Amino acid sequence: MPPDSGGVLFVHAHPDDECVGSGGSIARLVAEGVRVDLVTCTDGAEGEVHDPSLDPDEARPRLAAIRTAELACSLDALGGGAIRHHMLGYRDSGMMGTDANDHPDAFWQADLEVATRSLIEIVREARPAAIVSYDERGNYGHPDHINAARIARDAYTGLAG
pLDDT tens digits along 65-109:
999 999 999 999 999 999 999 999 999 999 999 999 999 999 999
97 backbone φψ class: left, alpha, beta (φ>0; ψ -120 to 50): left
Q: Is the pLDDT of residue 161 over 90?
A: no
CA distances (Å), 6 to each of 46, 80, 90, in order? Answer: 34, 20, 27
Q: Nearest 5°: phi and psi at 36?
A: -125, 125
Q: Does residue 96 contact residue 143 with C-beta atoms inside 8 Å?
A: yes
Q: Would you say residue 3 has pLDDT above 60?
A: no
Q: Above pLDDT 90, what percent of the chain?
A: 92
Q: What's the confidence (pLDDT) of residue 160?
A: 82
Residue 133 CB coordination number (10 Å): 26
Distances from the Cα of 139 to the Cα of 17, 48, 105, 131, 132, angstroms: 12, 18, 23, 16, 13
Mean pLDDT of the chain: 95
Q: What is the pLDDT of residue 83?
A: 98
C-alpha 7/C-alpha 4 separation (Å) is: 7
